[in-house]
Structure 1
Amino acid sequence: MDAHSYSAALADLRTVRDQIKKARAALARLEADRDKRVSQLAGYEKAKAERIAPAAGLGVAEVVALVPALAPDNLAVDEETQRQSPEPPHGQSALGHAPAPHHHAAEHATPVPPVTADAPTPEPPAPAEAERDLPSIPEGTTGDAWFAHSPGLASSRPHFTQQARSTVFLDTTTGVLVHRDRTHRLDLRDRTAADLLAAVSSAVPEGVERIYVTAGDPWHRDADRHPYLRDAVAAWLNAPVPGWRTDTGRGRDRMAGHFVHARNPVGRYQRDNGDSHVEIRSVGEWFDTGEDDPHTVRDAFVLLWQALRRHWNDAVLMGSPSQTGRDLWTRTIPARGQHADGFPVLSEELRGLLHATAGQGRNELLTPPRVPDQLPQLVEYDRTFAYAKHTWKSPVGTPRRVTAATFAAWSEKEQTRALYGSGHWQIRATVPDTWNHVGLLPAPAPGDRAWHYPAEPGTTFTTWAGGPEVHTAMTNPLTPWKIEILDGILWEDGKPLDDWAKKLKEAWANLSAQAHFQGDPQQARAAHLASRAVRSILLYGIGAFAQRPRMVTGTTPRSMERDVPPDAEVIGFDDKLITWQKPTGFTRDPNAHPEWAAAIWSGARAALLTQRHRDDDTYAGALHTPPGTVVAFRTDALYLTQRQNWPYHHQPGDYLLKGHLTGPLTAPTTEEELLTLRDAGRTAPTRKGGQA
């Protein structure tokens, strides 16, 4: 075996490792779902462990360990057995993180088959899908109290100028460092954080505050020694750095501590004497660079800054697109007029409800028999700069509750106006008996923040959805769905994001034009990367409004394992350290507006189903394709078995033909198989169109 074969075999082994991780996580979810169903069946007064055990694939003793009340008279179960409960494999993490992501979008989850009894009995049937329960608004005054704002917490226009950070761009494979108009070649030795900081400090003695890694991913240097990439990243970030310690944060944009992420981590360090602060970040937060050198990446950031400065005279590029997006947005808050005092933040209860009930992008793979075993072709349509299409209207003001009785008492005109407005609705939906197309509404699926889209005729389910999706289900061009409003949150319509989004769209259009017409290939590439960065600013800026409950990452020496916080989840470990994370709930963030993110995400999901092009007097979207031709949804993209004659005018929201692979093709049954076909389709010589 030569060195090349050895490296290829290691890459294959890491793939198998990740597949094992996914399989273990899937098994843990299935086992947890099974145990939940066992507990539900135990609620039947005539339930017997002997009947439940074979249906669950467990022994009688295991069923009794889950539900001691089911213990038969002839089965002795000691207290130690009764206290046992299934545990996930050591070190497993059920959490994945973007916005994000971030963002971060909810992953597709395959529905879990229903549990069936061995023989017909009068026992109640198990539910058709093992869904997690979504929260509801409490009845009476308790629930009514949620409809308020958090006292003393509101988004307001800043009265300070953001400080720029001295930034360099470093290729850790070649050692090429670009600082302003200077180029250095560094000896990075073993590419540890200590090596990077020492080499950069020597090359730029006047001080650097931000190091963007453009290539090389040094945090993966010891990936072969760790079971998961996150473990390798955590070990790289937490390795000793003589003369430096983990940064505790400073300034108005304070971000303290390292951020452990498999692909785009952030290392934050400060000198022991406290006079220097340095971030090591991946440029992958902003855009995919491919083989771009640090000079091109630097030029992209310069072009990005220049494009933003045309609209914000105090624009500063911060460490990430989400930070930059929110900072720029605060500088569009009106100084006078209706919202001069800012935009109040919802109560923590409503923010928690939106966090639990408002998913992000639709990610769904339809497999045989819903699509043919052999696809005639696979066509990818991607909605260009999609979220920018849905920022023209957002919820503002104090929300009001719309109960089922209130909604039913309204006239049809009032109901329609409410569903067209800015609202979030708890509904009971029924799929028509004649339905033969894709699902229209998200329903909770097993797994943290997982969603699926029921489409089986006659299926009834309860969920939460935004007004655009509810209205689409009730008025879709095929067959209206039966929708019952159970509860709702309704806001006034406003435009808090419109000015911000318009400026970003203009910057994006300007940079896209530069990329198209620029004669110099390197400058054209830099303009293209800058346009992708603008897209990230808007995309991740919207995700940042969602303000997920914070996760704190920490490490504990293996010798002090008992000191790991009791509510923490172990996400990695090596011979010396245990890496863990724990939720800390919602912070008092003045820019937390999950209602804005939820409204945009709902509008984007609805547009994947049907979208009107007024100028062309036509429609586009999944519902305007024949049944059985939709293969997958992936956030902003549709994968079909037929080409469509949809208009494309290079405008936000337009469907761009991005990939086309001729068949016959075996229908993908996993996300990996779909992505392999997607990548092949994007590079096929028959592809037409441009970049989204």
Structure 2
Amino acid sequence: MDRKTYTAELAGLRELRIEITAAEKTVAAAQKELDKLTDRRARRVAGLAGYEGAQAPAIAKASGLSVGDVVRIAPLLDPTPAAVRAAKADGQAAAPTPAPEVPEAEPAVAVAPTLTRPAPAVEQLAPAVPVTEAPTEVEDQVGAEQLAVLQTGSATSAPGETEPGVQAASDRTTTSIPGAIGQHPVAPVAAAPRPVVEAGPRELPTLPEGPAGARFEAVTTGLVSKRPNFTQQARATVFLDAAAGMLAIRDQVVRVDLGARTPGEILDAVQATAPGTERVYITAGAPWHDGAERYSTLKDAVAAWLNAPSERWTTAVGSGRDKLAGHFVHQRQPVGRYAPASAPDSGSTEIRSMGEWFDPDGADVVTCRQAFTLLWQALRRHWDDAVLMGSPSQTGRDLWSRTIPTTGKWAGGYPVLSEELRGLLHATGGQGRTELILPPRVPEQLPALVEYDRTFAYAKHLWKSPVGTPRRITAAAFAAMSEVEQTKALMSCSHWNVRVTVPAGWNHVGLLPAPVTGDRAWVYPSTPGETFVTWAGGAEIHLALSNHLAPWRIEVLGGLLFEDGKPLDEWGKRLKAAWADLTNLSKLHGDERQRTAAYLASRAVRSVLLFGLGGFAQRPRLVSGTTPIGEALPTGVEILGQDESVVTWQRQAGFSRDPYAHPEWAAYVWSGARAALLDMKYRQGKEVIGYAGALHAKPGSVVYFGTDGIALTERQMWPYRGEPGDYLLKGHLTGPVEHPTSQEEYLKLRGLGRAELAAKGADQ
């Protein structure tokens, strides 16, 4: 560079300085104006909080803020129930309460299969805050077993389109999903350190006396499950193999360039090929796991992928009654919702995992799309207005809502129980039984590992369910009943608080769940003389009293007796019919691709029932979100982790006012399924023609319980008819086999057993 050029560049630099100064003044003026407008908005939000009927979601939508931002401005709008906030605050302020001592076991003696009649006056334990059940491992269930399916307050939806979790654009609210075991291999991720918590007794809530107890025999005013008066709208859907870059659109397959496989690049490629697409199912490739090794947890990796910056796409904020907003962060089945950055109100596109519906297990993208087509056709034969929604839980609840009767006692809909009663059921009604039984109760070396799985298990337990307002049964009232009345009460839809004693000489598996702290919320005591207090459904209590080995000692402390109804019966019958159609097609069709597609579609029907049932549970929301580093965190949060830009947190958010919240139905079905793992009758008409279940296997031969299946050390002569609830031989690993010492070891052995049985071509 010569001197002349240098002088000219200096002059140009001075001119640029002047332009920058002017631009800075313009920006400063604009920022000042923006600050004034933001301040005015904050004052208006705070002012709206003075209205008694004000709701944070509505204000958030009108203001363009997230629900979390609205609550930070106006804490009065926090949707968390006051009782939950107060209980949480009290729990943080109070010193830890020591776990209750287990009473010393009395010498157990053989008793007749009748109930111990307690004294009329029974001491009531102090009411406890409802406890969310600890995550449990859910066995052999496609995708993420979202048994706790909830809706947060950051978005609105049509009845029946409730999402496991909903995230606002900036608050990014999500919901924790208990017990998901994924089906897809992922890059190794360093696990976040977890405190070691030893399991110990956990005190469960009881029914309080006086006016407080009346709320446990009540329903929520103005909250009823009603039949919808609208038809769901189908979404334009495509299927993408993200590993191979193959996109299935209607009846054609197109190869697309996905670039670095970020959400924005995937959406660009899809929309360029199939404009107007509203939903993309990833059938293979799991792009949300790309670079997972860089993060401390898999959830952090998925969150980072969902929120990857894009010039053309932004997080959807939702509009209208059936438009869900934000992302759902889940380790293996996430949901991303995006809108064009240039027109965020023009509509959104979802990116979802095929694993929500079924495990593709290597099926190509065309087969997955065909499975969806067959699923829709099968459901359409039983519902004229059937629409496949984003997830099985949404679809299941929507289909159920269209079976609500139009005549009879419940034509106006099914009332929703009081929040107090729902909290009690959540705290005391466990899900599927998951238990690994260790030596010396079983041999160190197993002669074999034989797996049985109950086919379409929950479908067998939908014929009867509790309805209406329950009647409270005190210990004295139960003691005053005759034995016939007691048996009738237990055989009815009921939920009981009991003191249990394992009988002397008992040498088999435990029958009833006992509450504990730690990683597992429930264990199943089986030591003779052991005594514990718990809650359980009538089916389980009746089995403990009347099993063919030895009756257990049961003292009823109280309970809830519902009216017997059939709110799930029609829904279950239609789903079973659709499942049977697809199962038969998967065996008889002449084309291999169609057989595979039909099998996958039958698995999807199972997910619709399973997730739909879990959706009724409506557990208290555990929401998570992110806050930029340097900004104040919301109150009462637990920090999960952080990166260079944001802190990830979670907190309890109480119950939502959901017209489809029926934990009494989920709890009753789960209780019946747990009882059937122990003892199930094969019937021909009204005649019992056989038995199956753990209690019909030899003592010491049961190795594992896994929600709807069990593993044993030897084969059983249990007939298999292909009907819901039947025990199917699923795997057989020839021994000797070293006993698994952990869940992970068992799952590996289970896989080997299934492979060995498949190789032998067992005719089951």
Please tell me the TM-score bracket, short chain as reference: 0.7 to 0.9
Aligned equivalents of 1:434, 1:596: Cα separation in 2: 35
Aligned equivalents of 1:505, 1:541: Cα separation in 2: 14
User: Deviation of residue 241 (structure 1)?
Assistant: 2.4
Aligned equivalents of 1:640, 1:99: Cα separation in 2: 24
Name the CA shift for 1:39/1:541 in 2 (closer, same or farther; >3 Å): closer
Aligned equivalents of 2:356, 2:570: Cα separation in 1: 24
User: Deviation of residue 636 (structure 1)?
Assistant: 0.4
Aligned equivalents of 1:300, 1:390: Cα separation in 2: 26
What is the CA RMSD across the aligned residues, in angstroms?
A: 2.2
2:389 is the counterpart of 1:318: yes
Aligned equivalents of 1:221, 1:235: Cα separation in 2: 10
User: Deviation of residue 551 (structure 1)?
Assistant: 2.7
Aligned equivalents of 1:635, 1:156: Cα separation in 2: 31
Which runs of no fewer than 5 residues in structure 1 stay unpaired?
1-31, 42-93, 115-128
> What secondary structure does 2:496 align onto?
strand
User: Deviation of residue 276 (structure 1)?
Assistant: 2.3
1:642 to 701, 704, 714: 714
Aligned equivalents of 1:644, 1:38: Cα separation in 2: 45
Identity of aligned residues (%): 60
User: Deviation of residue 36 (structure 1)?
Assistant: 5.4
Q: Report 1:126-165 matches (<5 A).
A: 130-165=200-235
Residue-by-residue CA offset, 1:79-130 (whole Å, 9 max, x unaligned):
xxxxxxxxxxxxxxx868954145866699xxx999xxxxxxxxxxxxxx71
Q: Which residue is equivalent to 2:749?
A: 677
User: Deviation of residue 40 (structure 1)?
Assistant: 7.8
Task: Normalising by structure 2, report the TM-score.
Answer: 0.74
Name the CA shift for 1:208/1:106 in 2 (closer, same or farther; >3 Å): closer
Aligned equivalents of 2:245, 2:649: Cα separation in 1: 32
Which runs of no fewer than 5 residues in structure 2 stay unpaired?
1-91, 102-133, 138-143, 150-176, 182-195
2:575 to 500, 504, 519: 504
Q: Report 1:433-512 matches (<5 A).
A: 433-447=504-518, 450-512=521-583
Give the stretch that moved more between structures: 442-451 or 358-367. Answer: 442-451
Aligned equivalents of 1:95, 1:196: Cα separation in 2: 33
Q: Which residue is equivalent to 1:100?
A: 146
2:648 is the counterpart of 1:574: no
Aligned equivalents of 2:228, 2:319: Cα separation in 1: 17
Q: Which residue is equivalent to 1:255?
A: 324
Is contact 2:467-2:564 (8 Å) kept?
yes
> What secondary structure does 1:150 align onto?
strand
User: Deviation of residue 135 (structure 1)?
Assistant: 0.9
**2:351 partner letter:** I
Is contact 2:264-2:312 (8 Å) kept?
no
> What secondary structure does 1:100 align onto?
coil
Aligned equivalents of 1:462, 1:245: Cα separation in 2: 52
Q: Which residue is equivalent to 2:307?
A: 238
Name the CA shift for 1:313/1:231 in 2 (closer, same or farther; >3 Å): same
Q: Which residue is equivalent to 1:378?
A: 449
Is contact 2:247-2:365 (8 Å) kept?
yes
> What secondary structure does 1:352 align onto?
helix
> What secondary structure does 2:499 align onto?
strand
Name the CA shift for 1:471/1:105 in 2 (closer, same or farther; >3 Å): farther
**1:259 partner letter:** F
Aligned equivalents of 2:320, 2:516: Cα separation in 1: 41
> What secondary structure does 1:626 align onto?
coil
2:654 is the counterpart of 1:608: no
User: Runs in 1 of length 4+ with deviation above 3 angstroms?
Assistant: 35-41, 94-99, 101-108, 250-254
Aligned equivalents of 2:695, 2:482: Cα separation in 1: 29
Q: Which residue is equivalent to 1:355?
A: 426
User: Deviation of residue 131 (structure 1)?
Assistant: 1.7
Is contact 1:247-1:269 (8 Å) kept?
yes
Give the stretch that moved more between structures: 253-262 or 455-464. Answer: 253-262
Aligned equivalents of 2:763, 2:246: Cα separation in 1: 34
User: Deviation of residue 137 (structure 1)?
Assistant: 1.2
Is contact 2:218-2:470 (8 Å) kept?
yes
Q: Report 1:88-487 matches (<5 A).
A: 98-101=144-147, 130-205=200-275, 207-272=276-341, 273=343, 274-447=345-518, 450-487=521-558
2:691 to 610, 613, 619: 619
Is contact 2:262-2:305 (8 Å) kept?
yes
Give the stretch that moved more between structures: 239-248 or 148-157. Answer: 239-248
Is contact 2:146-2:180 (8 Å) kept?
no
Is contact 2:100-2:203 (8 Å) kept?
no
**2:621 partner letter:** R
**1:181 partner letter:** D
Name the CA shift for 1:95/1:393 in 2 (closer, same or farther; >3 Å): closer
Residue-by-residue CA offset, 1:633-675 (whole Å, 9 max, x unaligned):
0000110001100011000000000000110000011001100
Aligned equivalents of 1:240, 1:426: Cα separation in 2: 52
**1:100 partner letter:** Q
Q: Which residue is equivalent to 2:608?
A: 537
Is contact 1:430-1:459 (8 Å) kept?
yes
Aligned equivalents of 2:584, 2:497: Cα separation in 1: 43
User: Deviation of residue 250 (structure 1)?
Assistant: 3.4
2:760 is the counterpart of 1:686: yes
Aligned equivalents of 2:537, 2:424: Cα separation in 1: 13
> What secondary structure does 1:425 align onto?
strand
Q: Which residue is equivalent to 1:585?
A: 654
Aligned equivalents of 1:583, 1:95: Cα separation in 2: 15
User: Deviation of residue 423 (structure 1)?
Assistant: 0.4
Q: Which residue is equivalent to 2:663?
A: 594
Residue-by-residue CA offset, 1:443-486 (whole Å, 9 max, x unaligned):
11213661100001100000000011000001011000000110
Q: Which residue is equivalent to 1:73?
A: none
Is contact 1:659-1:683 (8 Å) kept?
yes
Q: Which residue is equivalent to 1:79?
A: none
Q: Which residue is equivalent to 1:664?
A: 736
Residue-by-residue CA offset, 1:224-277 (whole Å, 9 max, x unaligned):
101111110011111212232222233434432211110101111122311020
Name the CA shift for 1:352/1:678 in 2 (closer, same or farther; >3 Å): same
> What secondary structure does 2:463 align onto?
coil
Aligned equivalents of 1:437, 1:250: Cα separation in 2: 56
> What secondary structure does 1:191 align onto?
coil
Count of aligned pairs: 586
Name the CA shift for 1:266/1:285 in 2 (closer, same or farther; >3 Å): same
2:727 is the counterpart of 1:655: yes
> What secondary structure does 1:505 align onto?
helix
Is contact 1:429-1:481 (8 Å) kept?
yes
User: Deviation of residue 365 (structure 1)?
Assistant: 0.2
Is contact 2:99-2:201 (8 Å) kept?
no
